[in-house]
Amino acid sequence: MLDTLTQQPPDALLALIKLYNDDPRADKIDLGVGVYRTGEGETPVFGAIKAAERKLVEEQDSKAYLGPEGDMGFVHALMPYIFGSDPTMGGRIDGMQTPGGTGAVRLAVALAKRSGAVRMLMGAPSWPNHAQIMNDLELPMQGFTHATPEGKADMDALRDALKNASDGDAVLLHGCCHNPTGIDYTPEEWDEIAALLAETGVLPVLDLAYQGLGVGMNEDAYGVRKVLSAVPEALIAYSCDKNFGLYRDRVGAVYVLAEKSEQMGPILSNGHALARANWSMPPDHGAAAVRLVLRDPQLAEMWQDELDTMRERMRQVRAKLAGAGQTGSLDLRPLGSQNGLFAMLALTSEQILKLREDHAIYMAGSGRINVAGLTSGNIDKFIAALADVTA
């Protein structure tokens, strides 16, 4: 039977990691997968996480199973950071741990489908794995344009998509730091989106994978909080992989907003059943470390300082890119007001290949760059290379 399977292409983004690692050129630049890097090009473990891990080694007295919901101390400790001062909205919000943000999106979409969702409205472009997850779960997608050529959110397209939605439609929205464009909705736009969602009854599935990497922890949660205050039901996929630097530990959570608190038990029991049939239980270590950080005021402050430093560095890189203005045929100015790790450059596949072959610069085939891959040591080379390939 197995020889009926045909060769599948590797995930393009993950394949880029290997291509980059295999390149012997000393001045190569990795702008591929979304991993934060310091000004020295490193991705260190957060100091707060290291301290929590030490505590964990001392304090953890068992590694026996927890259950499909994972570490609920972790799930609850995060809630005030995501949902604000009334984190459960009177028992209407609760959640469960998942393996990373991908596990959270997968579970959120599977829950939506189990509840009767028949189609997912999705901005384009989006994180490529979103479409892979919808395809794998056999949930049809309906696209709408996410951004205008001027680098703003395309509100007309979103408005039309929501107004033309049918029964059983859900919509996937990026909470902040849009992947791949970096183009987020403004607070005023979120206000309108929340009202539209309430009016149309489209189920929001909010992917919040980069909280704290855009404008700030509270600011980056504006859209999620606004939507949740307006609609009866929503699903939120959360990732700690970036804002706690826990990438390979796979730390995420899915949260549910239920119309009534008494519906929470049945809804989450479906989440538990889906988890059990997929991964059974999420990995414990990273989530336990996050719980220890958030429950210790000193470690929590240390973590927030580290996150502030990351965000500030990305702001500086963006300011420098924007300052380069018109570079060949590219206008880099909009990058200064966009958020998070990513930006999209309007490059052709030939230009992207030339950047790789002639300049050892690696970026996604879509033209997405990870701005955190740029440092004071390589940004001038990058800007010059852009000018070269777009001249």
Nearer of residues 33 and 79 to ligand LMR, judged by Cβ:
33
Binding footprint of ligand LMR, residue count (CB under 6 A): 6
Residue 135: how many other CB atoms lie within 10 Å = 11
**Which x/- pattern over 99-138 shows residues binding ligand LMR (rule: CB under 6 A)?**
----------------------------x-x---------
242 is catalytic: yes
The helix/strand/coil state of 368 is: strand
First-last CA distance in the chain: 52
Exposed / middle / buried, residue 55 (Cβ in 10 Å: 0-12, 13-18, 19+): middle
3 is catalytic: no
Shortest spacing between CB 239 and ligand LMR, in angstroms:
8
Number of residue whose CB is nearest ligand LMR: 34
Angle between helices 285-295 and 72-83 (to 10 degrees): 50
Token pair 């779960």 is found at: 137
322 is catalytic: no
Interface of this chain with ligand LMR, residues 179 to 238, rule: CB under 6 A: 179
Nearer of residues 13 and 196 to ligand LMR, judged by Cβ:
13
Shortest spacing between CB 237 and ligand LMR, in angstroms:
12
Shortest spacing between CB 273 and ligand LMR, in angstroms:
25
- 8-state DSSP, 243: T
Task: Catalogue the long-range contacts made by 243-248 (C-beta closer than 8 Å, 24 or more residues apart).
Answer: 243/210, 243/211, 243/212, 243/213, 243/307, 244/46, 244/49, 244/286, 244/289, 244/290, 244/293, 244/303, 245/36, 245/43, 245/44, 245/45, 245/46, 245/49, 246/49, 246/286, 246/289, 246/290, 247/35, 247/43
Shortest spacing between CB 310 and ligand LMR, in angstroms:
15
Interface of this chain with ligand LMR, residues 313 to 332, rule: CB under 6 A: none
Shortest spacing between CB 180 and ligand LMR, in angstroms:
7
Which residue out of 153, 161, 170, 242 is catalytically annotated?
242
The single residue among 30, 31, 34, 302 that binds ligand LMR, judged by CB under 6 A, is 34
Which residue out of 104, 127, 147, 364 is catalytically annotated?
127
Residue 157: how many other CB atoms lie within 10 Å = 17
Shortest spacing between CB 33 and ligand LMR, in angstroms:
4
Nearer of residues 34 and 151 to ligand LMR, judged by Cβ:
34
33 binds ligand LMR (CB under 6 A): yes
Say how far residue 269 (Cα) sits from the centre of its chain: 25
User: CA 103 to CA 24: how far, in whole Å?
Assistant: 34
- 8-state DSSP, 9: P
User: CA 259 to CA 53: how far, in whole Å?
Assistant: 38
Single out the residue of 207, 193, 191, 130 nearest to residue 165, CA to CA. Answer: 193
127 is catalytic: yes
Nearer of residues 257 and 369 to ligand LMR, judged by Cβ:
369
Nearer of residues 52 and 352 to ligand LMR, judged by Cβ:
352
Nearer of residues 109 and 203 to ligand LMR, judged by Cβ:
109
User: CA 117 to CA 96: how far, in whole Å?
Assistant: 21
Which residue out of 207, 241, 249, 284 is catalytically annotated?
207
Nearer of residues 34 and 103 to ligand LMR, judged by Cβ:
34
147 binds ligand LMR (CB under 6 A): no
Say how far residue 184 (Cα) sits from the centre of its chain: 12
13 binds ligand LMR (CB under 6 A): yes
What residues are annotated to the active site? 127, 207, 209, 242
Binding site for ligand LMR (CB under 6 A): 13, 33-34, 127, 129, 179
